[in-house]
Amino acid sequence: MEIPELAKRFQQHVLTDVDYLKTRGYNPTQFLAMIAQRGGAVAVAKYLFADRRHTSYGFERLWEMGELARSVEFAANLPWFTPLFTADELDEARARLILHDFPVEERLARAAEHPPAWMSEH
């Protein structure tokens, strides 16, 4: 799959998670503004992963809600989205999840058992 198409799929995935989070009472307005300002969810994820000093407010909020599986850190590490990111970016995202006791490998394995329907289209 071409990178621009994959980036579009990543954004759709992230925005679907945002829609769900809104039903749980969390509206990540700053994150959505960043998507508009930076030209997409991939650009925002790369920006967030570049700051190794701390996690974002949104990430911390998702952790508090028990929803780290809906973070860009987790989404970036899904096997179908990894081509969008560098090894360093993926390592940073994975490290954040691990530091918050998120079972990364288990959840990635579970997700890989159910790839999105669009994966079989290509």
Q: Report the candidate in 56, 60, 68, 61 with the shortest Cα–Cα distance to residue 102.
A: 68
User: What is the pLDDT, as a whole number, of residue 122?
Assistant: 58
Whole-model pTM: value is 0.93
Across 41-70, average pLDDT: 90
Q: Does residue 101 fall inside a structural domain? A: yes
Q: Which long-range contacts (CB under 8 A, 24 or more apart) does 51-60 make?
A: 52/92, 55/96, 55/100, 56/31, 57/30, 58/28, 58/30, 58/31, 59/96
pLDDT digits (tens, 9 = 90+) for 97-115: 999 999 999 999 999 999 9
Please give the tally of structural domains in the chain.
1
Q: Does residue 89 fall inside a structural domain? A: yes
Give the domain range for residue 80.
Answer: 3-112
Q: Does residue 47 fall inside a structural domain? A: yes
User: What is the pLDDT, as a whole number, of residue 120?
Assistant: 83
